[in-house]
Structure 1
C-alpha cells in the first residue's frame, strides 16, 4: 500500500497495529509507528493508545511511556492503556504512580482501570490500599460490575484474605462463572483445598459450567489429595464439557495422574490426545523417571520421536534432574546417549546437568570426561565437579580442578569457594586456604555465614586455632554452624577443655547444639581418652537435647572405648547399638584390637562385620596385619576369593 503511494487512514493503522500485537512483532510495530509519525498522526489519541498497547504487549514499556509522554492531550483510554501495560509487564509500582498522576489531573477511573489497579495491589500484597480502593468502588456504585467483583476477589486471594474474598462473592448479585472461578483459584493458591473442592461441588449443583481456568485450579486441588476419585470425576467432567482435546488441560491431567502414581491413566490420556506436544510427553516421561522406571521412560521417549514430536532441551534437563535425584546411573547414561544423538551436548545447561547427574550418581570419572568435552565451561560446571570430589574427601583432585578452572579465566563464586575451603581443610594445605580466605574477603563474601564458618573450620582443621578464633570473632554473627566449626576444630586438635567451653558459650548464646556438634565433642573425648565424659555426652544428647545418636556418634564411642582398652565394652556397643553399624566402627575396633594385641576379638569383629557385608579391602588388610604380627597364615586361608576380588596378593 505504501509502495503504491497510498496514504493509510487511522483505521488501517489501528488494524495493522492490532496485527503486530497478535504476532508480537515489535520490529514491524516500530515501522508502523514511524509511518504514523510521517503521516503527522502521532497526536491522534486512538492511534497513540493503540501504540501504547502494542509496545506494552511487545514488552517495551519504555517506548510505550515515550508515546504516552509525547501526547499533548490524554483521555481515559490512553491513561488506561499505559496503566494496563505497566500491570501486564509486572511494573506494579509504576502503574500505581501513574494512577496517582491521573487522579491529580481530575480524571475518574473506569472499571477497567480499577481492575488493573487491584491487580497491581494484589501483586504487591498491598492489603490496606486495596481495601481503600474497595471502599471507593463501593461508593461509586460499581459493585454490580462482575468484572470488578472478580478483580476484588482475586485481590483478596492474592493477599491471603479468603474471608474477605468470600464476603465479596456473597455480596455479588449475579454470580457469573468468572466470580466462581476467581474464588476457587484463590482457595487453591492459598492451599485451602477442602474449601476449593466444596465450592466446586456447589458450583456444579447450581449448574454452572466450569471454564478451562476453573478446571485447571480444581485439578491442582485434586493433585494434593491422596485419592484418585476426585481427579477421575473432574476428568470425566472435562470430557463432558468437550475440553478433553485442550492441550493445556490434558497436560495438567497427565501431571495429576503422575503425582498420584497412576501412570497408566496418564498414558491413556496421552494416547487419546491428538495434538500431544513436547510438554505433555515430557510430563509423563518424567513421571516414570522419577519413580526409577528407566525402561518405561526411555520407551516413551522413543514413542515420542516416532509420533513426530522432538524432545527439547527442557525434556532432557527434566530427565537428568530425575536421574540425579534418584541416582539412577543406568538411565542417566542412556539419556546421555540420546543427548548426543539429538546434538544437545553443546547446550550449556544440559552440559552442566550431565556433570551434576554423574556427580550425584557417584561416577566422578564420567562427570570429569563430560566437563572436558564441553565446548564452553562456566563456574557452575567446574563447581559441580569440584563439589563431587570434596564430598568423597578427595581434596587433592578438587584443588587440581580449581587450578584448571583458573586457567580457563573463570572467577569462583560463593559455591566454588565454599568447596575449595573444604578441600583445603581435607588436605591440610593452610597456605592455599589462606589464599581462598583472602579471595572471600576481596569478593566481600564474609557476610555469607556458610562461607565464614568454612573459613573458621579450614583454619581450625589445619591447626591454626588462633586464626580460626580471630575469624570467628569477626563474623557478623555466630550461628550454630560457625560455633560447630570452632568446636570441631578444637576437638580435632585434641583441645577437649576448649571444645567443651565453646559448647557452653554456644548454649549461653541461646543456640542449641546439633548432632554435628555432639559428634565433635565425642571426637574430642576420644582424642584425650575421656571415657566417662564420652558416655555422659552420648546420653546427654538424647535425654537433654532430644537428639537420637546416629552411627557416627556410636562409632566415636566405640573408638574411645577401644583406644582406652575397653575392647569387650566396645564390641558389645557395636552389637547392641540401635542403628546398624558401618565400616568405620568395625575398623576402629579392629585397630584397637591390633593396638592391644587381642587377636580373638579381632577375628570375632571381622566375622560380625562380614555377616553385615561391611568388610572391604582396608578392613581385610588391617586384620591381616594383626595376624602377621602373630605370624599366622589363618586369614589368607580363610578368605582367598575375597582377596582376589579386592586385588590383594
Structure 2
C-alpha cells in the first residue's frame, strides 16, 4: 500500500487527496439551476426550509479543493465547481425531516438498494459524475461545525448506499477527525469500526485521542498501527507529546521510549516535533536530555522556539541549575529576542530556589529597567523569596508594590505567603493573612483554602481545618481531590480514623472520585488499625474502579504489614509489585528493613538489604541506620559498627541518628565505656548532638559510675 507523506500541519486529512487534476467537460451539471430553485418548493422540503437554507450555506462557504494550487487557477477552478455542482438539493433531501442527528450503531453500512424512490434515484443519478475530491471538500465544509456532523455522516452513508464515491477511507478519516475535535471520542471509535483501519483512519483516531487527552488509547493505537505493518508519522507523535505535556502526564521514561520509536522508524524530525520533544523533556523534569536534544537540533539547522527555551530555563531553575539557566537566558537575549515576563519568571524561580535573595531582587529590578512588566507570578515568586528568608515585612511591601503597579494581588499570591508561614511553623499568621485579603477585597479561591486546611492540619488544629472547610462550602466553592485528601490525611495522622473514614464516604457522595492518593491514605489508616479485611476490601474497590496500585500503594502495604509483623504479606507485596513491572523504591526497602529491625530480626534485615542492592538501588542513610538498629536490637554490636565502616567507605555521611543508635547498641550489651568515644566521634564529624544523644551519654556515664561503686 502506498503511504502518502502528510503535510507538516495538523490538518493533513483535509488536503491529502486534493491533487491537481486535468479539467474535463462533464456531460451536464448534476443539478440544474431550475432543480435547485424549485427544490425548496417540493412537499418533502417545505417543512424544513430553515434546515435546507442552513444546508445550502455549507456549500456556499466552500473555498476550493487544493490549497497548494496557485491562487488565480484555484479561484477559477473553484468558481467552475460552484457553477457546475450544486449540492444544496442533496442536503435538503437528507434533512427533509428536520435537522439530522448523529446516530451511530455497530451495524454495517447499508448495501446498495434493490429499488428506490424515483425522486431519490433521479437525485443519485444526477451526482453520478461528481469526482471524489468534490465530495471530500463538501464533507470538510459540513464537518467544520459540530451541529452539522449528523448531516456529514448522512452524506457519507448516502454515498455508500448509491456507490457514488470510492475513496471512503478519506471520508471516514475526515469524519473521525471532526468527531475528535468535537470531543465525541466514543462516536469516533464507533465510526472507525465501519471500515478496515488504514493509515489514514489510524492517524485520524490517534489525533482524536490526543486532542481529547486520552493518551493511553493514542499510544495503544500507535502500537497497533505498527503491528498492522503501518508506520506512524511525526504528526501523531507531536500530538501525543503535546497531550502529555498539556495534561501534566509527561514522563521522561515514556518520552525516551517514544523517541526511540521515532529513531527506529527513521522519521525525519521537523521543527514542530523537535520543539515538542524538547519541551516534553523539560516539563518532565529532565533538563539534561532537553539540552542534549536542543544541541542536536541546532546542529542540524532546526531552531528552537522561544517558548521551548523558556521551558528549559524553567526546568533548569527548578533543578537548582541556576548557572545553566542564566547561560541559556543570556543566549536567548543575544539572539535578538527580547525576553518577556515568562522568561524572567523562569530564571527568577531558580534564584528563589537556590540563589541569594539579592539575585532575585536584582532580577525584578532588571525587568522593570527593560520595560518588562512583572505579573502575579513574578510577585508571588518574590514573596516566596522573602518568606524563605524570614523577611515578612518585605513580603508585605511586595503586596503594596503590586497595588501601586496596577497588579491586583490575587488569591494565589496570598496562598504563597501563607505557605511560607506554614513551612516555617508560624501557622498563627493564617488569621492575619485572611484579614489582609479581606481588607483589599480579595476572595479566597479553592487553592487558598486548600493551603489553609493543610496548614491547620499539619499543626493538629483540626477544628480550625473543619471550620475552614465549612466556610469553603458555604461560599459555593466545591472541594477537589486535594481538599478531600488533605482533610482525610490530617485526621488519619492525628489518630482520628473514624472521622477520616466519614470524610472518605462524604467525598464519594459529593461526586468526587477518589484517586490513588486517597486510597493510599485510607490503606495506611486501616493498616495502622490492623483492619486487614477492610484494607483488602478497599484494594478490591480500588481495582474495580480501574485505579491500579502504584509504587506508593505497595510501599504503604509493605510498611503496615511489616510494622505488624506480617512479613510474609509484606514480601508477597514486594513480589507482586515486581511481577506487574513496577520497580521497588528505596523507601519500600527502608520500611521493610526498619520493620525487621524493630523486632530484632537482623538476618532478615540483612537479606532485605541485599535484595535492595541487587535491584540496583543505592542504600540510603535511612536504610543503613535501620540496619544498625537491627543489629543493635539483636545484640550484635560488632556488625552494627561494621555498617558504620561501610557508610564511611561508600561516601554515606553518618548523622546524629547513626551515632545515637550505635550508642544504644553498646548500652544494650553493657559496653558502657565505649559510649563516650562514639559521642566524641559524633561531635568531631560535625553532627550536633540532640536530646536523645545526650540522654544516651548520661545513661552510659551513670552505669559506669554505678559499676565503679560496686567494685
Change (3 A) 1:367 1:250: farther
Secondary structure of the corresponding residue to residue 688 of structure 2 = coil
- The whole-number CA distance in structure 1 between the counterparts of 2:534 and 2:54 is 72
Q: CA offset at residue 455 of structure 1?
A: 1.6
Structure 1 residue 83 corresponds to structure 2 residue 143: yes
Q: Over residues 173-199 of structure 1, what are the superposed CA-to-partner deviations in whole Å (9 max), with x where a residue is unaligned? A: xxxxxxxx9899899987588899996
Matches for 1:426-465 after TM superposition, within 5 Å: 426-440=493-507, 442=509, 448-462=515-529, 464=531
Q: Is the 8 A contact 2:519 2:542 kept in 1?
A: yes
Structure 2 residue aligned with 1:618: 691
Alignment counterpart, residue 301 of structure 1, candidates 358, 361, 364: 364
- The whole-number CA distance in structure 1 between the counterparts of 2:674 and 2:276 is 60
Change (3 A) 1:426 1:231: same
Change (3 A) 1:602 1:453: same
Change (3 A) 1:281 1:100: farther
Structure 1 residue aligned with 2:656: 583
TM score, norm. by length of structure 1: 0.57
Structure 2 residue aligned with 1:341: 401
Q: Is the 8 A contact 1:215 1:234 kept in 2?
A: no
- The whole-number CA distance in structure 2 between the counterparts of 1:507 and 1:589 is 29
Alignment counterpart, residue 606 of structure 2, candidates 526, 535, 538: 535
Structure 1 residue 310 corresponds to structure 2 residue 365: no
Q: Is the 8 A contact 1:292 1:328 kept in 2?
A: no
- The whole-number CA distance in structure 2 between the counterparts of 1:249 and 1:607 is 58
Q: Is the 8 A contact 1:562 1:589 kept in 2?
A: yes
Alignment counterpart, residue 470 of structure 2, candidates 385, 406, 421: 406
Q: Over residues 469-500 of structure 1, what are the superposed CA-to-partner deviations in whole Å (9 max), with x where a residue is unaligned? A: 664566537846555434433433xx42xx12
Structure 1 residue aligned with 2:596: 525
Structure 2 residue aligned with 1:396: 460
Q: CA offset at residue 558 of structure 1?
A: 1.8
Alignment counterpart, residue 329 of structure 1, candidates 384, 388, 395: 388
Alignment counterpart, residue 559 of structure 2, candidates 485, 488, 500: 488
- The whole-number CA distance in structure 2 between the counterparts of 1:378 and 1:510 is 39
Structure 2 residue aligned with 1:97: 153
Structure 1 residue aligned with 2:678: 605
- The whole-number CA distance in structure 2 between the counterparts of 1:250 and 1:455 is 45
Q: Is the 8 A contact 1:425 1:461 kept in 2?
A: no
Structure 1 residue 501 corresponds to structure 2 residue 535: no
Q: CA offset at residue 458 of structure 1?
A: 1.1
Change (3 A) 1:273 1:82: farther
CA RMSD of aligned residues (A): 6.0
- The whole-number CA distance in structure 1 between the counterparts of 2:538 and 2:307 is 53
Change (3 A) 1:345 1:399: farther
Structure 1 residue aligned with 2:709: none
Change (3 A) 1:527 1:364: same
Change (3 A) 1:415 1:620: same
Q: CA offset at residue 336 of structure 1?
A: 7.6
Alignment counterpart, residue 292 of structure 2, candidates 226, 234, 251: 226
Q: CA offset at residue 78 of structure 1?
A: 7.8
Matches for 1:69-80 after TM superposition, within 5 Å: 80=140
Change (3 A) 1:506 1:341: same
Larger RCO: Structure 1 or Structure 2 (Cα < 8 Å, ≥ 6 residues apart)? 2
Q: CA offset at residue 447 of structure 1?
A: 6.2
Q: Over residues 577-617 of structure 1, what are the superposed CA-to-partner deviations in whole Å (9 max), with x where a residue is unaligned? A: 34333333333344455666654333233233323433254
Query: More deviation in 505-514 or 449-458?
Result: 505-514
Q: Is the 8 A contact 1:526 1:559 kept in 2?
A: yes
- The whole-number CA distance in structure 2 between the counterparts of 1:459 and 1:183 is 45
TM score, norm. by length of structure 2: 0.53
- The whole-number CA distance in structure 2 between the counterparts of 1:458 and 1:371 is 33
Query: More deviation in 427-436 or 223-232?
Result: 223-232
Gaps of 5+ in 1: 1-39, 54-64, 135-154, 170-180, 201-213, 239-247, 633-649
Query: More deviation in 451-460 or 426-435?
Result: 426-435
Change (3 A) 1:348 1:576: same
Structure 2 residue aligned with 1:377: 444
Q: CA offset at residue 502 of structure 1?
A: 1.0
Q: CA offset at residue 295 of structure 1?
A: 4.6
Structure with more of its chain in helix, by fraction: 1
Q: Is the 8 A contact 1:519 1:556 kept in 2?
A: yes
- The whole-number CA distance in structure 1 between the counterparts of 2:273 and 2:572 is 52
Matches for 1:103-114 after TM superposition, within 5 Å: 103=159
Query: More deviation in 514-523 or 263-272?
Result: 263-272
- The whole-number CA distance in structure 2 between the counterparts of 1:469 and 1:182 is 44
Secondary structure of the corresponding residue to residue 587 of structure 1 = helix
- The whole-number CA distance in structure 2 between the counterparts of 1:297 and 1:509 is 48
Change (3 A) 1:83 1:370: farther
Q: Is the 8 A contact 1:515 1:549 kept in 2?
A: yes
Query: More deviation in 615-624 or 223-232?
Result: 223-232
Gaps of 5+ in 2: 1-49, 64-90, 101-122, 124-133, 182-187, 203-217, 243-257, 280-289, 317-323, 706-711
- The whole-number CA distance in structure 2 between the counterparts of 1:510 and 1:262 is 38
Structure 1 residue 552 corresponds to structure 2 residue 622: yes
Q: CA offset at residue 118 of structure 1?
A: 8.5
Change (3 A) 1:380 1:233: same
Give the total of aligned pairs.
Answer: 509
Q: CA offset at residue 342 of structure 1?
A: 1.8
